[in-house]
């Protein structure tokens, strides 16, 4: 339900054009009262009800009798309503109302189960400290990204980024400060990448970045932006490799890791492009 419309997640027996639209204005909604009051609403004849007698659903949708029960989420918020309607006056039987209340509870339980499953799936693939993807998500997505790049003939760049001398930073400032820095990097870097990119924390201070559709030079521009956006007192080095046949996911990461090692071995932070780069 929005500020001006009631939307139907599921419906049966509702006439046109409402069935195809799957929504009505609030001027045609009895359910709004169930949601607003977080309580059941049982009406035998809406034409005789002082509140509902002017509701347009009576004329336009032929709603005369109505029984609705709130669907309450795990936090106590009303998510919607489950309702039955009749085009004639109806004296609702207790067993009918009990059945509607039971189904509303079942729907709420199912929504809670799905929400829990979704949150568990997100947690299983997310790094709790930074909010980035975690190593599990990285290792699962990299082979898929390679297959898509090969099948579609698109560019793909893989990047490994490492914070320079992070251990020394932790020793100097303490682990809480180090954690705060990692959280800040998570916020900054997620704001600099596209929705289709994957940014993952794959080690203590090591990050992986998948850039679909980016050749090495485009990837370098993105990475330089990330490296320039780290908290004061830190620098970052990066190794970049573009998709090349016949590299496997493991070989791809190994190439990026070698490029990262070369970048760090210079003694200064930089981004290094793998010499074997060969984007399609």
User: What angle do helix axes 249-265 and 135-152 make, rounded to 10 degrees?
Assistant: 110
Residue 204 included in any domain: yes
Give Cα separations from 240 to 76, 105, 152, 252, 253 (angstroms).
48, 52, 21, 10, 9
Element (H, E) at 209: strand 206-212
Domain of 182?
A: 135-273
Banded model confidence at residue 258, pLDDT cuts 50, 70, 90: confident
Nearest to 205 by CA among 143, 245, 161, 235: 161
Q: What is the pLDDT of residue 269?
A: 58
Of 55, 89, 123, the position where a domain reaches its end is 123
Taking only the tens place, the pLDDT of each residue in 116-148 is 777 767 677 899 899 999 999 999 999 999 888
Identify the active-site residue in 98, 205, 217, 232.
205
Residues 118 and 203 in one domain: no
Give Cα separations from 30 to 6, 138, 158 (angstroms).
9, 48, 54
pLDDT surpasses 60 at 268: no
Residues 152 and 66 in one domain: no
Residue 279 included in any domain: no
DSSP H helices, 61-134, are 94-124
- Token pair belonging to 214: 């980016």
Banded model confidence at residue 152, pLDDT cuts 50, 70, 90: confident
For this structure, is 110 an active site residue?
no
The model's pTM is: 0.59
Report d(CA 244, CA 52) in Å as an integer: 67
Report d(CA 4, CA 163) in Å as an integer: 50
């Amino acid at each position: 339900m929005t500020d001006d419309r009631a939307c139907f997640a599921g419906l049966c027996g509702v006439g046109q054009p409402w069935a195809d639209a799957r929504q009505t204005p609030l001027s045609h909604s009895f359910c709004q009262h169930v949601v607003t009051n977080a309580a059941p609403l049982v009406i035998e004849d809406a034409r005789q009800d002082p509140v509902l007698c002017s509701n347009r659903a009576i004329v336009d949708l032929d709603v005369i009798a109505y029984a609705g029960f709130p669907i309450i989420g795990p936090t106590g918020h009303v998510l919607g309503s489950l309702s039955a309607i009749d085009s004639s006056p109806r004296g609702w039987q207790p067993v009918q109302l009990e059945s509607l209340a039971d189904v509303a509870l079942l729907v709420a339980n199912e929504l809670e189960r799905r929400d829990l499953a979704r949150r568990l799936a997100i947690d299983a693939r997310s790094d709790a400290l930074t909010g980035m993807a975690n190593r599990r998500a990285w290792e699962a997505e990299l082979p898929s990204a390679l297959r898509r790049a090969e099948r579609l003939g698109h560019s793909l760049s893989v990047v490994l980024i490492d914070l320079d001398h992070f251990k020394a930073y932790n020793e100097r400032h303490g682990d809480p400060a180090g954690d705060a820095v990692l959280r800040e990097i998570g916020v900054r870097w997620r704001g600099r990448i596209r929705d289709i990119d994957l940014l993952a924390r794959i080690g203590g201070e090591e990050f992986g970045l998948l850039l679909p559709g980016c050749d090495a030079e485009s990837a370098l521009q993105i990475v330089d932006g990330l490296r320039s956006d780290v908290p004061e007192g830190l620098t970052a080095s990066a190794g970049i490799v573009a998709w090349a046949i016949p590299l496997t996911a493991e070989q791809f990461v190994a190439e990026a890791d070698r490029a990262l090692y070369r970048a760090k071995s210079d003694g200064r932070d930089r981004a290094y492009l793998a010499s074997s780069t060969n984007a399609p």
